[in-house]
Amino acid sequence: MSYPTQLTQNQPDPGRPESSLKIIPLGGLGEIGLNMMVIQYEDTIILIDAGLMFPEEHMLGVDVVIPDITYLKENQGKIKAVILTHGHEDHIGAIPFLIKHIQAPIYGTRLTLEILKIKLQEHRLEDVVPLRLIAPRGIIRIDPFSIECLHVNHSIMDGVGLAISSPVGTIIHSGDFKIDQTPIDGRLTDLGRFATYGESGVLALLSDSTNVEREGYSPSENILAATFKDIFRECKGRIVVAVFASNIQRIQQVVSVAREFNRKIAFNGKSMHVNMRIAKELGYLKIPSGMEINIGEIRNYPDERIIIVTTGSQGEPMSALTRMAVDDHKYVKIKRGDTVILSSKFIPGNEKAISDIINSLYRRGAEVVYEKVSHIHTSGHAYQEELKLLLTLTHPKYFVPIHGEYRHLVKHAQLARSTGIPAGRVLIAHNGNVISFDHQGDAAISGTVPVGRVLVDGKGIGEVGEIVLRDRHFLSADGMVVFVTVVDTLTGAILNGPDVLSRGFIFEGMKQDLLEDSRCIVIEVFERFSEKGEFDWLEIENEIRREVRKFFYNVLKRRPMILPMIIPM
Instruction: Just list the catalytic residues.
Output: 208, 381
Distances (CA, A) of 158 to 195, 207, 306, 455, 530: 20, 18, 30, 29, 73
3-class secondary structure, 241: strand
Half-sphere exposure of 407 (CA within 13 A, CB side): 3
Distance CA 221, CA 210 (A): 17
Q: Are 320 and 328 in contact (CB under 8 A)?
A: no
Q: How many CB atoms lie within 10 A of CB 211?
A: 21
3-class secondary structure, 1: coil
Distance CA 568, CA 484 (A): 11
Angle at 393 between CA 106 and CA 390, to 5 degrees: 60
Q: Are 311 and 322 in contact (CB under 8 A)?
A: no
For the sheet containing 64-67, what is the strand order? 64-67, 453-457, 460-461
Distance CA 130, CA 82 (A): 11
Q: What is the DSSP string of 98-153?
A: HTTT----EEE-HHHHHHHHHHHHHTT-TTSS-EEE--TT-EEEETTEEEEEEEEB
Please name every residue paired with 240 in a beta bridge, in sequence order, or none if there are none: 308, 340
| DSSP assignment letter at 555 | H
Q: What is the DSSP string of 463-523?
A: ---HHHHHHHHHHHHH-EEEEEEEE-TTT--EEEEEEEEEESS--TTTSHHHHHHHHHHHH
3-class secondary structure, 456: strand
> β-pairing, 106-108 with 131-133?
parallel
Q: Are 517 and 550 in contact (CB under 8 A)?
A: no
Distance CA 131, CA 351 (A): 37
